[in-house]
Amino acid sequence: MNLYDLIVKKIKDIQAAGDESPVTNISTSSMLTAEITLVSSILVALIMLRLVSKVLMIVAVLVVLFAALTAMPLMPKFKKEQNDSLASMMFYVVIALAIVITLFYWGNLNV
């Protein structure tokens, strides 16, 4: 089994049971592009931590790189999470509210 077949198999494994859409060449290459874009964008964004601390930046980049490599492929999981179910949308809305309020209240008082 070559690398491409391995990727297709992994996508099929992660894809939701209810998702009947076939895994085609186009969908696989789209998934790969999204995967590479996601990981590279996050890694480049993490470099901005240099403004806080260079050591923190290096540690964060290495940790995220390791986590991304071990958890790959991330995009099928991300796609599954960003579905149209009201329950999951509500879940992320509540999480976002908590993060925003915590960051503002705690972040501004302590920075």
Partner 1 sequence: MNLLIALMVIVPILCALFLNLLHKRDRTIKVVTVLLALALPALPLLANYGLHYFGGYAPLVENPTLSANLPSMITGTALNTFHPAITYSFQSAQQLFVFILGLVALLAIFVSLFETRRPSGVYAYMMFMGVAAVTAVILTDDIFNLYVFFEIAALATVGIVLVSNIKGNYETALKYMIMGSIAAPLLLLGIALLLGVTGNVNITDIIYSLKNGLVDPQNPVLLMACGLIIFGWLYGSGLPPFHTIKSAIYSKALPSGAALIQTFSVFIFVALGIIILRIFSYLPFSQWVILGVSLLAMILGITMAILQTDLKRMIGFLAVGELGYIGIGLGLSTAYGITAGLFQAVNEAMITALLFLGFGVVLYQTGVSDTRKLGGMMVKNPLVALMVLLAGFAMAGVPPLNAFQSKLMLIQGSIKAGLPELGVIMILLSIVTFMTFMKAFHAVYLRPQPVDLEIKNEKIPKATLIAMLVLLGVCLIFGLFPQIATSYLQPLATSLAGGML
Binding residues for partner 1, rule: CB under 8 A, are 21, 26-27, 30-31, 33-34, 37-38, 40-42, 44-45, 47-48, 75, 78-79, 82-84, 86, 89-90, 92-93, 95-97, 100-101, 103-105, 107-109, 111
CA atoms within 13 A on the CB side of 59: 5
* Smallest separation (angstroms) from partner 1 to the CB of 102: 8
Of the pair 1, 63, the CB lying nearest partner 1 is at: 63
In the complex, what is the shortest distance from the CB of residue 76 to partner 1, in angstroms, rounded to a whole number?
Answer: 9
- Residue 30: CB atoms within 10 Å: 12
DSSP state of 104: I
* Choice between 59 and 93, CB closer to partner 1: 93
Q: Could you give the C-alpha distances from 35 to 15, 53, 77, 100, 103, in angstroms and in order?
A: 15, 28, 11, 27, 28
Nearer to partner 1, 6 or 45 (CB): 45
CA distance 4 to 10: 10
